[in-house]
Amino acid sequence: MTIDWIAADWGTTNLRLWAMSGRGIVEARTFDRGMGGLAPQDFAPVLAEATAGWPAVPVIACGMVGSRQGWVEAPYIPVPCPAVPQLIPVPGDPGGRPVRIAAGLRQDSPADVMRGEETQIAGLLALTPDFDGIACLPGTHTKWVRISAREICNFKTFMTGELFALIAGQSVLRHSLSEGEGDPQAFLAAVSDAMARPERGYGGLFQLRAESLLSGLDPAVARARLSGTLIGWELAAARPWWLGCEVTVIGAPALSQLYADALAAQGVPVSRMSDRDATLAGLTAAHRSVLDPA
């Protein structure tokens, strides 16, 4: 297979690269050279090093590489908009390769932004062309996205992943939570409690620490109650996005499973798609839009 283009998912923390032949993957590489650790002049040499041995073919990139703090700012496109990403060229074809970066999306009221997920939505529509409904993309900042007639209509972001990481990793609760998976039954109970009485869940946070100190609360149960509380708050706030809808969850396996379980417990029909598959399909759709602008 001849490498004829390169797909790049260039986020805050990592750079993931695929040497592509049409829709086929020839080789995959991952580097911990995310946007967060790079100055603008670093991106071209990092890309050259990371693609060593690959031909001088076009690069299609998505993610925080296109933010104001990234390589070249790819300004936000307002929704509603077509689901195939708009591409912004990096001036000067660094390393002899045309490099294009997918633009993020903006919503003015209520204010919201995304950068990277727009490419996964394009991938969802590439893989399931008739998709009409809601996509939920759990992660550091979970996105709920309404898609209809091959357009992204509107979306809503929650900080659930970032809040969980801060509370579990740095608050006083860090002493009381397991590292690994949480208890599934305790998770669903916490989701249900947090949805029914969000304020009670707020009072339950320090209680995890106290139960751990006073009665040896199982750390896997504590972890499940924390994640269930946060995801329960999110589902309560996102009710208009999933009530009476079919939802496709796009994300990493373990986190997607939590969202799928929580939604299924509310009677919501849930499908799953891997974030890697969605990203690659979206970058492929973007690449094809360059080859065939019609």
| Residue that the structure tokens 């339950």 belong to | 204
- The answer to whether residue 159 forms part of the interface with a copy of itself (CB under 8 A) is yes
- The answer to whether residue 112 forms part of the interface with a copy of itself (CB under 8 A) is yes
Total residues belonging to the chain: 294
Question: CB neighbours (10 Å) of residue 178?
Answer: 15
- The answer to whether residue 187 forms part of the interface with a copy of itself (CB under 8 A) is no
Number of residues that bind a copy of itself (CB under 8 A): 41
Range in contact with a copy of itself (rule: CB under 8 A) among 41-49, 162-170, 219-227, 283-291 = 162-170
The DSSP H or E segment spanning 250 is strand 247-251
Q: How far is the CB of 234 from a copy of itself (least distance, A)?
A: 7
Among 44, 46, 88, 237, binds a copy of itself (CB under 8 A): 237
Contact 76, 22 (CB under 8 A): no
Among 207, 254, 264, 269, binds a copy of itself (CB under 8 A): 207
How far apart are the C-alpha atoms of 239 and 148, rounded to whole Å? 18
Q: How far is the CB of 76 from a copy of itself (least distance, A)?
A: 8
Q: Which of residues 91-110 bind a copy of itself (CB under 8 A)?
A: 106-108, 110
Distances (CA, A) of 144 to 150, 258, 265, 266: 16, 15, 18, 16
The tokens for 52 are 């060593």
Contact 35, 69 (CB under 8 A): yes
Residues of this chain that interact with a copy of itself (CB under 8 A) are 76, 106-108, 110-113, 141, 156-159, 162-163, 166-167, 170-173, 198-200, 202-203, 205-207, 209-211, 213-215, 233-234, 236-239
